[in-house]
Structure 1
């Protein structure tokens, strides 16, 4: 692949990544990158966000729903938190997130589901989409 195509893929990926995850989060990730970790930032932006997320085959909402289920199954809780925010940005409702996590819980196990529910709840409360828990 020519360098101009790679740079174009990187720029497309950054655009999608910022739209889904938020400009502040993405720009902060890039600002923290050094020569070593920038390789990861590039491949993530190019292939994950520029190639896969920017494909026409699925809507972003569907991609967010799939991510939440897969990340729950993999037990990647920091990524669950990040992608709950992205899912909200992509039009996934709180009730849909609950149903996705229930579905993932049944197929990936109660401990994975519990962790994902806790993480999602934390983010949804932070975003003001669920009431603060009373102590």
Structure 2
């Protein structure tokens, strides 16, 4: 884990709380890289996502991480947000969501949000699963 860049946006307790969860769910390399690449223009976005999504939503006691991941997969698939879906598919696997559960989420997306949204989500999930399998074989 690298040190967080010393920016005023990254100093609040909510940021630190969110950062810990964000690293656990998405992986420290990904998160630390995002923070390191931030500049004066977009550091505020890193603050926003870390404090609001990770510090406020993901740390609430009402849902476990697996359930939050399942919800994210449905929303990101429905919104057709491929890059974020790819990231959150990996996070879902980290949080204990099975491939069969992911399949069922994507079928539900197809029924309620349309076949094109589900098709794209299935394609991305297949790619993520292949990458995960390759990483396991290489480890």
TM-score (norm 1): 0.89
1:72 aligned to 2:77?
A: yes
SS in 2 for 1:128: helix
Q: How many residues align?
A: 125
**Per-residue Cα deviation, 1:101-135 (whole angstroms, up to 9, x for no partner):** 11111111111110010011101110008xxxxxx
User: Which residue of structure 2 lines up, in the alignment, with residue 132 of structure 1?
Assistant: none
C-alpha contact 1:72 1:105 (8 A) present in aligned 2: no
SS in 1 for 2:116: helix
Which aligned runs of 4 or more in structure 1 are off by greater than 4 angstroms?
none
User: Which residue of structure 2 lines up, in the alignment, with residue 107 of structure 1?
Assistant: 112
User: Which residue of structure 2 lines up, in the alignment, with residue 53 of structure 1?
Assistant: 58
The gaps in structure 2 that reach 5 residues or longer are 1-7, 135-139
TM-score (norm 2): 0.87
The gaps in structure 1 that reach 5 residues or longer are 130-135
1:32 aligned to 2:31?
A: no
C-alpha contact 1:102 1:113 (8 A) present in aligned 2: yes
Q: 1: distance between equivalents of 2:18 and 2:125?
A: 25
Q: Displacement, 1:66? A: 0.2
